[in-house]
Structure 1
Amino acid sequence: MRQLREYGAQMRGEGEATAEPDPEKLITAIARRKDREAFVSLFEAYASRIKGFLMRGGTSEELAEDIAQETLLMVWRKAETYRPEKAGASTWIFTIARNLRIDRSRRDARRRTHLLHEAPEPEGPDRPDELLQGAQNEDRVREALKTLPADQLRVLQLSFFEGRSHSEIAEMLEIPLGTVKSRVRLAMGRLREALGEGI
């Protein structure tokens, strides 16, 4: 992931507004070349949309954030399975999100049922070591967020945690749209570098 943010900043420029990306082209680039810049563009375009979609369906904000990230990582891993003749790119992405939400709801329902009957939890994808790893990852993310400059942290909070569009953020903070996009890209790059993500 090294140099990705610098490359993106050079390609698009701090004050330069960019057109809405074509998700089908981005998914194709990811499928063919594991194109990281395409993934970053897709993430920026869809993370807050997926979160908003899930929250409108009754999912809590925290869970919606988790599922949105999981959805986009699934797109990264499964991009080669996308078939444009069967569904549009957005439909495919939101279907993944919906299915992940359903899977999570079923797992939660199973857990509640077993807790009610004081039965041991069945073997499944969320073993204690995986739960511990998840908690440790959350702590690492919180620590990484503390290292961001205040201006980058603010646009991340507004974009990913509050679900605001980049144009709303630009208006709210009274800065150019290109500056908002650049700060989001730079912040995500710093987070990935701090967390050592392999995407």
Structure 2
Amino acid sequence: MPKKLFNNVCEEQIFSLIYKRFSKELYDTLYYRYGNQINTKDKVQDAFVKLWENCKNIEFENAKGFLFVTAKNLGLNEIKHNKVVLNFANTAPTQQEEEPEFIKEADPKLLRYKEALEKLTESQRVAFMLSKIEGKKHSDIAEILGISQKTVEKRIYAALKKIKEAIKK
């Protein structure tokens, strides 16, 4: 009986070889079959993740078949899911964009606060939300946004000033 050269798909080099050999072909096949109905790149990646999770049970010779069947099933599942979502969206009652009257009357300050947040510049709003809503320190915000801590402080101060003015009206 001849010895199998590539028996263990779990070995990194063999898995890498499988990926290089079949990923483009798998992508093309899924794209031609489903078009824009599914996210083709995600399905290719998901198929390779499934292969990795089951690598001990799959021989090298069966890897291609496993990938293509898995990717096809993942694509069909996504299409079915999209149909369910579409049916639900068509049958579900639409939400009104305006808030109910009793909410408007209940807290006009809250409405002015929301409006003030919308009027802030994006940079001010991001810095303000990270500080006041998520409770991040100014140094952490500066690191996240890639700006100086002084700039963060100026943005938050300007945002607070605008919000206070809007609420007082």
TM-score class normalised by the smaller sequence: 0.3 to 0.5
Q: If you compute each CA radius of gyration, which structure gives the higher value, 1 or 2?
A: 2
Larger relative contact order (Cα-Cα within 8 Å, sequence gap ≥ 6):
1
- TM-score normalized by structure 1? 0.39
More helix by share: 2
- TM-score normalized by structure 2? 0.46
